[in-house]
Amino acid sequence: AAAPLYRLSDRRPALAVEAVTARGIQRHVSRRLILWTDVMAPEVAQLPALADGAYDHLVKQLGQLPPTREGEEFQVTGYLMRDQRLFRELGLLPDALA
């Protein structure tokens, strides 16, 4: 029998939500996306739900992702930035990233 196939475990660092939002960055969360943004447009809040729909469509077309060893749901973190400096100051964007 073939060995089970697993995707990588969630290794996202924990963020101090209160400290980040106190600096004017909003957090929008759905099942598949955590979106951090300093773009204050009403349409931005709809993006996580759109990501959920895109994920569901891809699963229908391509099949389920392999599970993690821990059985975690698939979710990513995204950043929509107007002011990169602010994201760097808060440690959300590494200095080494161009």
Predicted confidence (pLDDT) per residue in 77-93, tens digit: 999 999 999 999 998 98
CA distance 82 to 41: 12
Per-residue pLDDT tens over the stretch 50-80:
999 999 999 999 999 999 999 999 999 999 9
Between the CA of residue 88 and those of 16, 67, 76, what are the distances in Å?
Answer: 15, 32, 19
Mean pLDDT of the chain: 94
Its pTM stands at: 0.88
pLDDT, residue 96, reads 79
pLDDT, residue 90, reads 92
Output the six-digit token pair for 24: 């004017």
Read off the DSSP letter of residue 35: E
Which pLDDT band, with edges at 50, 70 and 90, does 94 fall under? Answer: confident
